[in-house]
């Protein structure tokens, strides 16, 4: 069995021997001591935030992976956090916006390469309303932000795959409304 991370997961974290081998597509097992390490999907959020002109808030990534490409705001849930709580926290941290309403839209699997490890991710998208845009600023891992007409948005400018799919999914729904 081949997994994307097998060249970096070699030594067992329990016994230290170079006996770790891919077990399932999300786990490694130690042939020496039977320890099993799971690399489960990380839960992550993506926010679709539209202004009064129905333009979508799009960000530019300040850091790798995919530094300089377009993205949608959001991020990884922290241990002990609910997914809505995680989204509210991320949008406050990244843009200083306060979400007052959110509605689940869809989810897509994603992979997030970071310092040699490819993390499996489940991205969950929500359509969000914010209290006001008056406070907005780019901070944390966001370099810049833009409000873009959905119809004009070129999804090829996005680095990560799931924001593209989420936008395309949302466009598909928007034309039905």
Chain residues binding Zn ion by CB under 5 A are 12, 14-15, 30, 32-33, 35
Q: Tell me whether residue 35 or residue 119 sits nearer to Zn ion (CB atom).
A: 35
Q: Nearest Cα to 9, choosing from 110, 115, 1, 22?
A: 22
| Pairing verdict, β 42-49 and 117-130 | parallel
Between CA 2 and CA 7 the distance in angstroms is 10
Q: Tell me whether residue 29 or residue 136 sits nearer to Zn ion (CB atom).
A: 29
Least CB distance to Zn ion at residue 37 (A): 10
Least CB distance to Zn ion at residue 39 (A): 16
Least CB distance to Zn ion at residue 31 (A): 8
66 φ/ψ sector (left φ>0, alpha ψ -120 to 50, else beta): left
Least CB distance to Zn ion at residue 114 (A): 25
Q: Tell me whether residue 16 or residue 68 sits nearer to Zn ion (CB atom).
A: 16
Cβ-contact 82, 174 below 8 angstroms: no
Cβ-contact 39, 120 below 8 angstroms: yes
Q: Tell me whether residue 30 or residue 56 sits nearer to Zn ion (CB atom).
A: 30
Least CB distance to Zn ion at residue 24 (A): 17
Between CA 76 and CA 20 the distance in angstroms is 27
Q: Tell me whether residue 33 or residue 173 sits nearer to Zn ion (CB atom).
A: 33
């Amino acid at each position: 069995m081949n997994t994307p991370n097998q060249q970096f997961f070699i030594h067992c974290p329990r016994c230290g021997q170079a006996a770790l081998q891919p077990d399932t597509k999300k786990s490694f097992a130690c042939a020496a001591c039977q320890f099993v390490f799971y690399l489960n999907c990380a839960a992550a959020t993506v926010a679709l935030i539209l202004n009064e002109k129905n333009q979508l808030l799009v960000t530019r990534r300040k850091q790798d992976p995919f530094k300089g490409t377009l993205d949608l705001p959001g991020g990884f849930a922290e241990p002990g956090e609910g997914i809505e709580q995680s989204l509210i926290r991320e949008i406050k941290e990244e843009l200083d916006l306060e979400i007052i309403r959110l509605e689940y839209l869809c989810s897509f699997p994603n992979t997030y390469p970071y310092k040699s490890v490819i993390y499996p991710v489940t991205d969950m998208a929500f359509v969000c309303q914010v209290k006001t845009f008056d406070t907005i600023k780019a901070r944390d891992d966001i370099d810049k932000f833009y409000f873009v007409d959905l119809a004009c948005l070129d999804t090829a400018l996005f680095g990560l795959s799931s924001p593209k799919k989420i936008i395309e999914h949302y466009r598909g729904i928007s034309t039905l409304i």
